[in-house]
Amino acid sequence: MTTSSRCERCGTVIDTSEWHPVAVSERGDDLQVLAFCSTRCQDHWERDEGA
């Protein structure tokens, strides 16, 4: 099964059936799993979000 999503930072399409970096965003009672196309995008997102 192949599923795809978009990188939370740059919007690149990623194949979620393959390994990719993720982060969890918590806003109030809501948790969201965010997918990234690379660790570089994840690092930039974490810097921008103040994680």
Q: Vertex 3, ends 39 and 44: CA angle to 5°?
A: 20
φ/ψ of residue 2, rounded to 5: -115, 130
Residue for token pair 């994680």: 51
**Helix, strand, or coil here: 43?**
helix
* Contacts (Cβ under 8 Å, ≥6 apart) of 44: 9
- Render pLDDT for 19-41 as a digit per residue (tens, 0 to 9): 999 998 888 888 888 999 999 99
In the chain, domain spans: 4-49
DSSP state at residue 12: -
pLDDT of residue 3: 57
Distance CA 40, CA 48 (A): 12
With bands split at pLDDT 50, 70 and 90, how would you rate the model's confidence at 50? low
pTM score: 0.79
